[in-house]
Amino acid sequence: MSAKNDSRLRRARRTRARMRTQGVNRLSVHRTPRHIYAQVFAPAGDKVLASASTLDSSLRSGATGNIDAAAAVGKLVAERAKAAGVDKVAFDRSGYKYHGRIKALADAARESGLEF
């Protein structure tokens, strides 16, 4: 593993520990150059309540590694979370900087009615 990824994971661990003490649902994001994934976890971190990614058949067409695709994933995960009865989450950016695709996903989820 690279030093860059190690420090990202270290940052992620720190924020996740804090979210665990708050006992709230967690919207976790993972990105690769080609795809972006989002999952809503239960407060204990043991159950996935909702998930969406650019691998979903509805989002698969067109580019999957850009801001528009990330916004579509944010909208979809928010809709699925609301369907599962979740309306408040803590945003776990997994150590990534809050800009670009991560920001687009978060903004789209907020616009679709998810609170964080």
pLDDT digits (tens, 9 = 90+) for 58-90: 999 889 999 999 999 999 999 999 999 999 999
Q: What is the mean pLDDT of the chain?
A: 95
Dihedral (CA of 83, 88, 90, 93) sign? positive
- What average pLDDT does range 88-107 have in this prediction? 97
Domain that holds residue 92: 3-112
What pTM did the predictor assign? Answer: 0.94
**What pLDDT band is residue 56 in, cutting at 50, 70 and 90?**
very high
CATH number of residue 26's parent domain: 3.30.420.100
Q: How many domains are there within the chain?
A: 1
Distance CA 110, CA 116 (A): 7
Residue 22 has pLDDT above 80, yes or no: yes
**What pLDDT band is residue 53 in, cutting at 50, 70 and 90?**
very high
Distance CA 46, CA 80 (A): 18
In one letter, which amino acid is 110? Answer: R
In the chain, the percentage of residues whose pLDDT exceeds 70 is 99
* Amino acid 13: pLDDT: 96
CA angle 89, 16, 13 (to 5 degrees): 155
The alpha carbon torsion through 87, 90, 91, 92 (nearest 10 deg) reads -130
